[in-house]
């Protein structure tokens, strides 16, 4: 009888360990699945951006530039300057709106572009 009890205790301990391993592996599998889904979405977004970068002129109207997957228009000649309302109306006619800079990356890209256009290299 003692041998049977030892056998049962041993099997129970083994089953507990197996259940823990199963839970652990299931959690890892689910984590990997989530990571794969996230990476797959990121790859798809990058493919879209790559397509836009390689065919940029096809995605933005003439005179506009493609930056960070978005089309921008910067009037650089004084005869192209407009009031705020005229500028907004112009943008909305093109299917856009005035720029709202809401990230440091967007601000850096915009400032660098304008600096390069307005301050010629020596």
Helix H or strand E encompassing 92: helix 84-93
Residues linked to residue 70 through DSSP beta bridges, in sequence order = 67
Question: What whole-number percentage of the chain has pLDDT above 90?
Answer: 20
- The whole-number pLDDT of residue 35 equals 96
Confidence band of 45 (pLDDT split at 50, 70, 90):
confident
| Mean of pLDDT values over 60-82 | 79
Out of 26-30, 49-53, 63-67, 74-78, give the one with best mean pLDDT: 26-30
Nearest-angstrom CA–CA distance, 63 and 95: 15
What's the confidence (pLDDT) of residue 52?
Answer: 62
What pLDDT does residue 122 have? 46
d(CA 87, CA 104) in angstroms, rounded, equals 24
pLDDT, mean of residues 40-44:
90
pLDDT at 46: 83
């Amino acid at each position: 009888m003692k041998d049977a009890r030892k056998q049962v205790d041993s099997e129970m301990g083994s089953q507990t360990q197996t259940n823990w391993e199963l839970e652990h592996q299931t959690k890892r599998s689910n984590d990997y699945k989530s990571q794969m889904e996230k990476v797959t979405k990121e790859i798809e977004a990058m493919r879209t951006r790559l397509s836009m970068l390689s065919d940029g002129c096809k995605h933005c109207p003439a005179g506009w530039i493609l930056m960070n997957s978005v089309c921008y228009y910067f009037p650089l000649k004084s005869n192209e300057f407009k009031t705020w309302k005229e500028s907004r109306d112009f943008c909305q006619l093109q299917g856009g709106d005035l720029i709202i800079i809401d990230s440091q990356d967007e601000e850096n890209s915009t400032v660098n572009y304008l600096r390069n256009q307005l301050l010629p290299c020596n």
